[in-house]
Structure 1
Amino acid sequence: CFRYVDNVPWAQQISYYPYDVAQAAKIDVPTDIEEGTVRALAKAGYREVRWLDEVSARAATREEATAFRLGGGMFVLYYQRTGWTNERPIRLTREILPADRNIVTYEQVETAAIGEDS
């Protein structure tokens, strides 16, 4: 899907799920999922507990430049997130983000060390 801000194409996103997980969470339908897929997955017993994020940058393809209305030589950020339950990966989301209008920000919060009682 394409996401827009004030009618400006801001991001392109696609997500993939193992078919058995998609069926169990009832997200294997080509319609909007009102509660969102992460909540639907959790409700079906597939709560994400960790993520692997990968971010890189590259020149926009001709198709991306057209879709995002980019000038020549513009770059895009390629953002990929894999969501895991305790047992397995259950979601792969890929986003293309024009570098002239997106910022990737991370905030880390201290958590108890593994093995510590809290």
Structure 2
Amino acid sequence: MTIVRRRVRYLDGEASYINDTYFPHSLVKDSEIADPRDLARGTLRILQDLGYRQDRILDEIWIRMPTNDESERLSLPPGTTVAEHVRTGYTAEGTPIRCAVSILPGDRHVIALEFDMPADWT
């Protein structure tokens, strides 16, 4: 069982992207995360205060056509692709503590990735 926080983020009055985050019910059922209101201190801080520090993330990105629901939530013009970005957070022990699914319209976003390379990399 999960608890989901569903949001549509807006930029200059236009729907910019969808962000739905899923949490294991057993970890957050008695916390602020279960409350639908905005969380000033953020879910990662709340999880950490509950004893679940996010130490590792896995990012997965797919480019695809939107579902009907996504098209409606984002007011997408016909033919607009989306990027589905799934970010799963884990504790050091490997326990998944959150999964954020963001839907990014292809006509409004650039995905840029930057990595620091280890000093001994050749």
TM-score scaled to structure 1, two decimals? 0.84
Cα separation, 2, equivalents of 1:53 and 1:7: 28
Q: Does 1:69 align with 2:75?
A: yes
Runs of 4+ that moved beyond 6 A: none
* Pairs within 5 Å for 1:36-55: 36-55=42-61
Residue 98 in 1 paired to residue 100 in 2?
no
Cα RMSD of the aligned pairs, angstroms, is: 1.9
The reply on whether 1:58 has 2:64 as its aligned counterpart is yes
| TM alignment of 1:1-118, pairs within 5 A | 1-23=7-29, 25-87=31-93, 88-110=95-117
Structure 2 counterpart of 1:109, one-letter code = D
Give the count of matched residue pairs: 113
Give the gaps of 5 or more residues in structure 1. 114-118
Q: Is the 8 A contact 2:61 2:84 kept in 1?
A: yes
In structure 2, the gaps of 5 or more residues are: 1-6
Q: CA deviation at 1:111?
A: 5.2
User: How far apart, in 2, do the equivalents of 1:112 and 1:25 lie?
Assistant: 41
Instruction: Determine if contact 1:59/1:74 at 8 Å carries over to the other structure.
Output: yes
| TM-score normalised over the length of structure 2 | 0.82
Q: Percent identity?
A: 35
Report the 3-state secondary structure (helix = DSSP H, G, I; strand = E; otherwise coil) of the residue aligned with 1:27: helix
* Mean CA deviation greater in 18-27 or 78-87: 18-27
